Structure 1
């Protein structure tokens, strides 16, 4: 696991490269490497997980192919054996060292042979001009941000947004419509980031850049859809075995590996399967000092006791949240309105402090297997012949569209009239009128757009902020492939959500976990964001009238009404809106400074 960065057909001094590397040091504190020549440069920060003494990047082949990558290649042993049989030789056993030979053997199609999570950069010097190739994994586990200047035909890229801004030629500018996009989906979907002109490479995408041809990007073809047997029990059994296999191979590392157990189905199942082959497994749960709603620690403890793991209870004090939040927003690089970001950050720092560099989690099961209440509501509405689309989109955001627009100033509403939709049309078009059932279309939308933007980038950035690599069994190709092939009733039926996954977990988890109502893994901000608590005063200061007037986007009176409502009638939507606006203001101050209004 690493952080990568680079430039192409551009200029960057050695000092700039050191500055960019320093901004990502937390994600790769174990080593640093660069290669550069006229007009291009690539580099990495290394978090050593496999072959601790080897693995120096950039990887090279004949000094003409140079590669840096962020991620893990789980099938590297098999690939190395196949490439060795073809005549290639390797200096170490690090997973990434197969990449130059694999690219040499198969060209741009080399990524089709990979099983793993990755963002890869290849410099190919064999032709008449240098060639840069960037590639991302099939579902977006490893983000890659870039800035392309069409006039200069220059490109800069990095694993994290603050590091990208460390390049002198990448000046930060705020995307004017960003606040609305953020409130509509809790973080921008699609390729656009909150910075004007800075984009993120989509999942399963290859980008090729040369000085004369410019930039060419294409999405790689998805695998052929599976056909599942009619027997529900056979499908559940198949899923259980696929998960068992994937968890087993994701436990392989040359450093200690732990699991995260929230107390819900998904992470608990990962922990139970990991404990089958890992005799001294450690698992971590996070909770909050005091008595708060939705505390799941007792369920996590039951899972640990049944699986025989070493249980670690991480507990953080809500009084420290204002101090933590600034660091959270910085590491994310752009606003994410999910309050669980703060808990995620604290959790993975505790994991690393306990001596672990790798953790398996249950992330992405809800998207793959149909776990969200908004999915259930949409399918039931459609079955009843009622509208579902607008309500589903509203459920993705901080608050419904009509209430969102009521927050804005007249000037900002006018500016938004000139911009595109808050959610990219290429995402909402297939969602509204594409092929398949409503649930099938929602599943593809969630996997293709919400999961990478809202969920996987959060997990990646906030785990790597603590120098911890997160591995995601539910994102593995074999598991996603089965999930995508499920019929609607195998996802959601009258008895509940994630029916096939629950069936796969039967007998592996305590009944209290299998039979409990589903609840989101989140931070109870409705209870915490009330007068007398540190978060209240912190948010009040961040959303003071002078700040809002200077920015000119959010109406001061509308925000005052939010605070009044939350003080007298605390509610989830009101609390989340205040939280989201505060996070946005922290981000704006960090990257653009604070202008003082009158």
Structure 2
């Protein structure tokens, strides 16, 4: 896990590259490196995970190629042996050198051979061309901006925004969509005007001052056994092999354990593999909160033989003290305070000396874990299933019908109550809506919905949060469920394997059966480090901070908020919509810190 940045299209200045690296120090506290070419400069910060020797520092060079990359190539050992058979020689034990040689051998086709998480940049000095690429789901972020005939990019906005020659400004449509309905920026967009994110599974080619972006990834073809018991066994083997690859590390590995099905499956199955990774598990807990998951997490930890199960206890006072650092560290607004719980878990991992954490993100989006997926699953399975899920079926069908004037009316009526009418109206008229990727165009309703969750709505958002929270404390998060083979399996599996009889994530639950306690596998609620957000935001000190921020003359002057509505709820002593007031507070603090 590292930080990368660069400027292409003009001779680089060393001072600019050094400033880029300095802005990413928390992403890589173990070293830095630079490349200065005739028309490109690269900056790198390293968090050493595999091959801790300085010989694996980046940028790496091979002939005219220069590489910087952030992430891990989990199957690097297998690729290295294949490349040795093709005549390649290696001087390190790291995955970066393997990636560079793979690129020299296969070019862009190397991407399809990688099992990993990555954001990479390859500069070809002879051709004067750059390729940026992201892993299939965008686990590792990469942002970029074009300025004239230059392209600037980085793992963090603060690494390259100061060198664009223009002030950092909010993207008004993205910000207003977030404030009114918790929407995230469009696929490939960001909260900053003129700055884009390289979406998961995409690559960017830049040459001659022009950038071209396209999708390189789609789910691989995977043969799923037709009989359900055999398919369950096949998925379990894939899960175990994904875990085996993701336990490759030269630093301590632990787990982030919420107590839900996905993280519990990761913890329980990883316990079947040899290694010291069972020593540490970290769980955010909120004593006295009705949705606290500690009892489930503790049940799993005991069953898996976890040696040290760390209880992390965020609270309202701690949040108040951490608030500014949290907002600056994430660099973009986020919609709920479970992100703070995640942030605290990563801090606890740093304090315990655990550099790598396994986590369970991706299970809901691949295997139909959300309640909204039930309606799409029922529609896919047919009339009998639909009759058992009438409300969910109608809700899923209605999503596609809410267009034009009807959608604008719906958005007005459901908008956050603390916003100026002009803000609500502009957001209601914004035409953007998420779409599934091209490969899902002819798929069934469930598959189309899952593809949308994976690429355009839920998963990209969660992956951004995981990266930002972990990197704030120089930790690396690995997600075994996002192994491309598992993604291909989920895409190819019959819908009834994913959802049946009201049971979501059916095959994933059964793949963990016997390792994960039944009391966890049979849960139907979804939580995920959810804190008592309403209670926190109603605390007197927090209400005082909200008033200080949102009723400040500078905040009022933006014209985004309804000051009278905020004052009314302050006087009443409670928020009619705690999620909406958090978004307003978060957005205003972000505007102060980042623009």
Aligned to 2:193: 196
Structure-2 separation of matches of 1:464 and 1:488: 36
Aligned: 1:156 with 2:167: no
Query: 551-560 or 21-30, which moves further after superposition?
Result: 551-560
Aligned match for 2:532, one of 510, 524, 536: 524
**How many residues are aligned here?**
573
Aligned to 1:336: 334
Aligned: 1:514 with 2:524: no
Aligned to 1:579: 582
Following superposition of structure 1 onto structure 2, how do residues 407-486 of structure 1 map, counting pairs within 5 Å? 407-413=418-424, 415-416=426-427, 420-424=430-434, 426-427=435-436, 434-486=441-493
Aligned to 1:55: 56
Query: SS of the residue aligned with 1:375?
Result: helix
Following superposition of structure 1 onto structure 2, how do residues 103-182 of structure 1 map, counting pairs within 5 Å? 103-127=103-127, 130-149=128-147, 152-169=148-165, 171-182=167-178
Structure-2 separation of matches of 1:162 and 1:590: 11
Structure-1 separation of matches of 2:397 and 2:415: 17
Unpaired segments ≥5 residues, structure 1: 593-598
Do the aligned partners of residues 376 and 401 (structure 1) sit closer, same or farther apart at CA in structure 2, a change above 3 Å counting?
Answer: farther
Aligned to 1:97: 97
Aligned match for 2:206, one of 205, 209, 212: 209
Do the aligned partners of residues 270 and 513 (structure 1) sit closer, same or farther apart at CA in structure 2, a change above 3 Å counting?
Answer: same
Q: CA deviation at 1:321?
A: 0.4
Structure-2 separation of matches of 1:325 and 1:342: 9
Do the aligned partners of residues 19 and 535 (structure 1) sit closer, same or farther apart at CA in structure 2, a change above 3 Å counting?
Answer: same
Aligned to 2:369: 371
Q: Can you list the C-alpha shifts for 1:451-486, whole angstroms capped at 9, x where unaligned?
A: 443111110111011111111001111111111123
Aligned to 1:595: none
Do the aligned partners of residues 360 and 531 (structure 1) sit closer, same or farther apart at CA in structure 2, a change above 3 Å counting?
Answer: closer
Query: 337-346 or 511-520, which moves further after superposition?
Result: 511-520
Aligned to 2:553: 546
Aligned to 1:325: 323
Do the aligned partners of residues 427 and 562 (structure 1) sit closer, same or farther apart at CA in structure 2, a change above 3 Å counting?
Answer: farther
Structure-2 separation of matches of 1:403 and 1:298: 35
Q: Can you list the C-alpha shifts for 1:115-153, whole angstroms capped at 9, x where unaligned?
A: 1111110110223xx11111111111111000013xx22
Asked if structure 2 preserves the Cα contact closer than 8 Å seen for 1:283 and 1:304, the reply is: no
Aligned to 2:405: none
Do the aligned partners of residues 421 and 523 (structure 1) sit closer, same or farther apart at CA in structure 2, a change above 3 Å counting?
Answer: farther
Q: Can you list the C-alpha shifts for 1:76-105, whole angstroms capped at 9, x where unaligned?
A: 112222222222222111111122222221
Do the aligned partners of residues 328 and 423 (structure 1) sit closer, same or farther apart at CA in structure 2, a change above 3 Å counting?
Answer: farther
Asked if structure 2 preserves the Cα contact closer than 8 Å seen for 1:360 and 1:473, the reply is: yes
Query: Under a length normalisation based on structure 2, what TM-score does the superposition of the two structures give?
Result: 0.90
Do the aligned partners of residues 428 and 255 (structure 1) sit closer, same or farther apart at CA in structure 2, a change above 3 Å counting?
Answer: closer
Do the aligned partners of residues 338 and 113 (structure 1) sit closer, same or farther apart at CA in structure 2, a change above 3 Å counting?
Answer: same
Aligned: 1:226 with 2:222: yes
Aligned to 2:592: 589
Query: SS of the residue aligned with 1:529?
Result: helix
Aligned match for 1:245, one of 229, 235, 241: 241
Asked if structure 1 preserves the Cα contact closer than 8 Å seen for 2:498 and 2:506, the reply is: yes
Aligned: 1:386 with 2:394: yes
Q: Can you list the C-alpha shifts for 1:477-499, whole angstroms capped at 9, x where unaligned?
A: 11111111233322223342111
Q: Can you list the C-alpha shifts for 1:395-449, whole angstroms capped at 9, x where unaligned?
A: xxxx9652217654344356557x742435x459999xx5333222110100111
Q: Can you list the C-alpha shifts for 1:315-353, whole angstroms capped at 9, x where unaligned?
A: 233211022222222122110112111111111011011
Structure-1 separation of matches of 2:341 and 2:578: 17
Structure-2 separation of matches of 1:576 and 1:264: 22
Aligned to 2:82: 82
Give the aligned CA root-mean-square deviation in angstroms: 2.6
Do the aligned partners of residues 162 and 423 (structure 1) sit closer, same or farther apart at CA in structure 2, a change above 3 Å counting?
Answer: farther
Aligned match for 1:258, one of 250, 254, 261: 254
Asked if structure 1 preserves the Cα contact closer than 8 Å seen for 2:20 and 2:159, the reply is: yes
